[in-house]
Amino acid sequence: MKLPGFIDSHMHVLGLGYITYNLDLTKVNFIRDIIKIVKQSNNKNIIIGRGWNQEDFMEKRMPTKLDLNLASSDIPVLIVRVCGHVIVVNDRMLELAGIDSETKQILGGNFSYETGIFSEKAINLIYDKIPKPNKQDLRKYLIKANQILLSNGVTSVASDDFSILPVSYEYIIEIINELYDENLIQVRITEQVNLSYSNLKDFINKGYANKKYEKFRMGPLKILADGSLGAKTAYLNKPYENDPNNYGIKTFSDEQLFKLVHLANVNAMDVVIHAIGDGAVDQVLKTLIKSTRITKRYNHNHAIIHAQLATNKQIALMKQWGIGAIVQPVFLNSDIPIIKSRIGERYKESYLFKTMYDQDINVGFSTDCPIEPVNPFLNIYTAITRKSIKSPNLEPFLVEEGFDLQSALKCYTTNNLKYTYQQSNDDYIIIDKNINSCSTKGIQALQVIKTYIDGKLVYKIKQ
């Protein structure tokens, strides 16, 4: 069956390729298994792993530096939680980063020298000390990601790549354009520009704002306003359930966020902002509305990424001010088992993606890959059923928020054009079965046989 190519409106192309060269910790069920996997690594410079989730551990706790010290006392070790908002390092990594018990905390994040656990902006204290990848490394990461995307029928993406590794944004732009020129990547990329205020000024002054190349273009400013629900760093208006002193982390002050948003807005750049907690959504809405009132730039494509805990009142404001939603139904795969333990009865006003859609908010689907697999069919299945794939025995979550198939496909194609600005009628895929007559459960197993971009075959399944 022929379908339009899928558009993923928020992911990390460079990150997708990069993690394939890190240790895979996604299937770990015991902390002792992390220790074993790290010990088996052949890397003698620095060991990096990603994908663990403490909710999957029998111990039901986060790893600490004491665990990682058992794995290696000589080689720096860094392991990244599945959400990317929390990392754990060993003592050797702390030493390399120059962090000790006297190191001061930073605004918008926190860390513990005693445990080696870092969250949000504090993570950069570690990331800034990671050895920089060379050009060949970056090329192979991007080429690998392109192959994965094509094999999943994804022909266009909006991608946050500038914040993944400690290299300059201009270097990444240069390498991506080289790969297009050499026809080594084909997926259309709209860059979600994740830059600090000073770097954004530099970016704009050099003429990069909204700049278009053939299949690569500079898109909206991307901002992280809070953390993740699983890591308990999403910023809430009321504290986490059974954790009365924890509201999560607000990564910007109101003044800082407005300054960044407004700089983009006055330069005709759209803004897409990661906000999961209702507290962060409040801050983001207040900021976007304030900037829009000043600029009177009403014809925009601003959007909130995730909006998992956006309330009905906040959704009404999103509709009033034309603020879209870039959502990830597939997050329910991991989140259904933990939602009530995180926010209690507030769960009844969460993950309201169909409500947003029915209110005529422009809802676009994405995976935030590599947070979740880039496979669109898993996302569509979750959007329709509201069930967890890895915990299938659990009840559907707010089943009335489920999409029908055609609405889900629309959120994965035409709706996402507002967030990627690019796609062609000659970007299409061939799948192995008719999705319209497929059982709901069967959607998970659908396979992409061929992928075409500009009418040219760019992927064919191996027989």
* Per-residue CA distances from 25 to 45, 49, 83 (Å): 19, 6, 12
313: pLDDT strictly greater than 90: yes
Query: Which tokens belong to 177?
Result: 């354009």
Count of CB atoms situated within 10 Å of the CB of 379: 29
Mean pLDDT value across residues 363-372? 97
Residue with tokens 């404001």: 317
- Tell me: do 10 and 24 sit in the same domain: no
- Tell me: do 255 and 157 sit in the same domain: yes
Mean pLDDT value across residues 76-103? 97
Q: How far apart are CA 263 and CA 272, in angstroms?
A: 13
Look at residues 127, 159, 177 and tell me which one is the last residue of a structural domain.
Answer: 127
* Cβ 271 vs Cβ 220: under 8 Å: yes
Q: What is the pLDDT of residue 429?
A: 98
Cα torsion 282, 288, 289, 294: sign = positive
Q: What is the pTM of this model?
A: 0.95
Confidence of residue 423 (pLDDT cuts 50, 70, 90): confident
- Tell me: do 121 and 142 sit in the same domain: no
Mean pLDDT value across residues 108-113? 96
- Tell me: do 262 and 293 sit in the same domain: yes
- Tell me: do 170 and 200 sit in the same domain: yes
Count of CB atoms situated within 10 Å of the CB of 14: 25
Percent of the chain residues past pLDDT 70, beyond the cut: 100
- Tell me: do 149 and 182 sit in the same domain: yes
- Tell me: do 110 and 216 sit in the same domain: no
Query: Residues for the chain: how many in total?
Result: 463
For residue 312, give the nearest of 337, 284, 281 by alpha carbon. Answer: 281
421: pLDDT strictly greater than 80: no
- Tell me: do 48 and 97 sit in the same domain: yes
For residue 292, give the nearest of 316, 270, 325, 324 by alpha carbon. Answer: 270
Q: What is the DSSP letter of 40?
A: T
39: pLDDT strictly greater than 80: yes
- Tell me: do 407 and 274 sit in the same domain: yes
Confidence of residue 422 (pLDDT cuts 50, 70, 90): confident
Mean pLDDT value across residues 22-51? 95
> SS3 for 131?
coil
Confidence of residue 48 (pLDDT cuts 50, 70, 90): very high
55: pLDDT strictly greater than 80: yes
* Cβ 272 vs Cβ 305: under 8 Å: yes
157: pLDDT strictly greater than 80: yes
Q: Cα angle at 272 between 379 and 367, to 5 degrees?
A: 15
Mean pLDDT value across residues 371-388? 97
Domain containing 189 equals 2-15+134-460
Q: Cα angle at 426 between 420 and 432, to 5 degrees?
A: 100
The number of distinct structural domains making up the chain is 2
- Tell me: do 35 and 160 sit in the same domain: no
- Tell me: do 292 and 399 sit in the same domain: yes
Look at residues 68, 93, 127 and tell me which one is the last residue of a structural domain.
Answer: 127
CATH number where 89 lies? 3.10.310.70
CATH number where 351 lies? 3.20.20.140
Percent of the chain residues past pLDDT 90, beyond the cut: 97
Look at residues 127, 154, 184 and tell me which one is the last residue of a structural domain.
Answer: 127
51: pLDDT strictly greater than 80: yes
**pLDDT one-digit tens code per residue, 124-154:** 999 999 989 999 999 999 999 999 999 999 9
**pLDDT one-digit tens code per residue, 324-345:** 999 999 999 999 999 999 999 9
463: pLDDT strictly greater than 90: no
250: pLDDT strictly greater than 90: yes
- Tell me: do 173 and 106 sit in the same domain: no
Query: Which tokens belong to 116?
Result: 């080696």
**pLDDT one-digit tens code per residue, 452-461:** 999 999 999 9
